[in-house]
A and B are shown apart, each in its own frame.
Chain A
Amino acid sequence: MSEEPAMVQPMLEGRGIDKSFGAFKVLKAVDLAVASGEAVGIVGPNGAGKTTLFGVLAGALLPTAGTVRFAGADLTGTGAAARCRSGIARTHQVPRPFLGMSVFENALTAAQFGAGLSGSAAEDCAAEALERTALLNHANRPAAALGLLDRKRLELARALATRPRVILLDEIGGGLTEAELGLLITLIGQLKADGLTIVWIEHILHALLKVIDRLVCMSAGAVIAEGGPDAVMADPEVRRAYLGGSL
């Protein structure tokens, strides 16, 4: 606090993150700090390392170098399950529900193990997460019977049922129709209003801009710009990497 001027301690922070797969460097000295209650969007061309960064933040991947801090504690070597229990939730780009279970049981599993609840408290928590994501009517259906939008909702419901303090959303808007996307944006906006800290990787810029406070652009494993969404999107380097790179 004394060294960094006027910087409140961030909720979630990755500092100097390097990640290599063999000789290939996917992340190069990435710094990312997210304040409590903030919503940060991450954009960048395919292969920029966005999902890998989420893997490092959520504990699925061990960084080659650098530290991950959450709520002041160093979690760099901690596994994904323990990070989930401490309050970091993550959704996958392609939803990965437990297919052999009902929708309700999917959420209940997250409430029991992620939020550490038991008995009726866990059931209430699961029902609440399903209600928020408009899945309560489908609670008793098998998860395998859900369509894409509902699977994305279930992915989100499962993350919410772990009672997270920060949620990492990986391209949750991809593959949806405009109407479906609108519903999802409303929901994520509500989560932000409730004080949940959000980090959101998304290609659909107009969806991001309705929710986020700050935008980070990654390219080739590094953060090339960050700040207000307008300023970042006007940055010439961002325009070259992000807009030019997608062609």
Chain B
Amino acid sequence: MLDALIQGILLGGYYAILAAGLSLMFGVVRFINLAHGDLAIYGAYLVLFAVEVLGLSPWVAVASVVPVMALLGWLLQATLFARTIKGGFLLPLLTTFGLGAVLQNGMFGLFGSDTKSLGNHIGNLSWASWQLPVGISVGQLPVITFAVAVAVLGSLQLVLSFSKLGRAIRATSSDPEAAELSGIDARAVHRAAAAIAVALAGLAGAFLAMRALINPYAGPTQLIFAFEAVVIGGIGSLWGTLVGGIVLGVAQSFGATISAQGFQLAGHLVFLGVLGGRLYLAHSRNLGGWRGVLGMPALPLKSATQLKKVTSEGRS
């Protein structure tokens, strides 16, 4: 029992890395990237390529793939995402769904359909474990993953809270138009956020490939897990994402002790339970609406202002 709990918590670290990027894109750019999971898998394949073909050591490969993924995110935002976001709510979903298909089939073409893993390249790390006094053993790789997750989220939180870029990101996330009036180039901030998000996806993909088998079509499942972690933890909160990841990981880990299929099912059930609970609360208190259901912070007067503007303009 305790074993499953610890495993679940540590698994939450991986979900947090994956979901943080998704949450950042939604919170700052108001953009839902359905290719996020596929980008994670793509990052994993790049790491595999760097290890198997270029002969880099796995950690050096991860360290060099992360900036490449950041550049890819920057380019995607500059060329594709920024254009589609002007087309309303549906267009980004369709476009990134298509991007996901392109990535999946591109990886299939380049790397083949065989399952692969980084596990063979990291020595005994994929199965080595530490013994805890009470007779429990914890895997070294999950602990490292969790530690990296805390470090990544912590430094991201520091950047957001105290740096100039962080202030620009928070201002843009709060009100892009008002941010522009303070001299912030909101589109540049969006590119920076996309770079961070895709870099995090690549990092998460690398950790996934170390502990599991991946194939070119593994992305969508990871996307669903990331979504669940984000929604459980509440959109727009980094530590909430970690909590969401842990809740999901623990649920899956307990589900797996019941049956092999229980892994995914338990996670989905907890996700639905949280969503249903929020829906009930939002309705019974008559506040929040769908934003409340998703655990998003209530939106300011802004929307009311814009409505007012539109109507007063439209009436004349």
Contacts and interface: CB of A to CB of B under 8 A. Distances in A.
Contacts of A48: 316
Contact of A99 (B174, B177, B182): B174
A84 B183 contact: yes
A94 B181 contact: no
Contact of B171 (A24, A79, A109, A115): A109
B contact face: mostly helix, strand, loop, or mixed: helix
Contacts, number: 102
Contacts of B185: 79, 81-82
A220 B314 CA distance: 12
Contact of B177 (A96, A97, A116): A96
A101 interface: yes
B94 to A, nearest CB: 24
B293 to A, nearest CB: 21
A114 B175 CA distance: 15
Nearest to A95: B301
A92 B168 CA distance: 19
A109 B168 contact: yes
A96 B178 contact: yes
B313 A94 contact: no
A79 B180 contact: yes
Nearest to B178: A96
A112 B184 CA distance: 9
A47 B312 contact: yes
B300 interface: yes
A159 to B, nearest CB: 7
Nearest to B310: A21
A101 B174 contact: yes
Contacts of B184: 81, 109, 113
A98 B183 contact: no
In the complex, which range does the number of interface residues on chain B fall in? 20 to 34
B156 to A, nearest CB: 16
A98 B171 contact: yes
B167 interface: yes
Contacts of B170: 98, 100-101
A79 B176 CA distance: 13
Interface string B45-89: 000000000000000000000000000000000000000000000
A110 B186 CA distance: 13
A47 B315 contact: yes
B302 interface: yes
B309 interface: yes
A112 to B, nearest CB: 6
B13 to A, nearest CB: 26
Contacts of B182: 84, 109-110, 113-114, 158, 161-162
Closest 4 CB pairs of A and B: A47-B316, A114-B183, A113-B183, A80-B180
23 contacts: A24-B314, A26-B313, A79-B185, A81-B179, A81-B180, A81-B184, A84-B182, A84-B183, A89-B181, A94-B301, A94-B304, A96-B175, A96-B177, A96-B178, A101-B171, A109-B167, A109-B171, A109-B179, A109-B184, A112-B167, A144-B300, A159-B181, A220-B316
Interface of A: 21, 24, 26, 45-48, 51-52, 58-60, 79-82, 84-85, 89-90, 92-94, 96-101, 105, 108-110, 112-116, 118, 144, 158-159, 161-162, 220
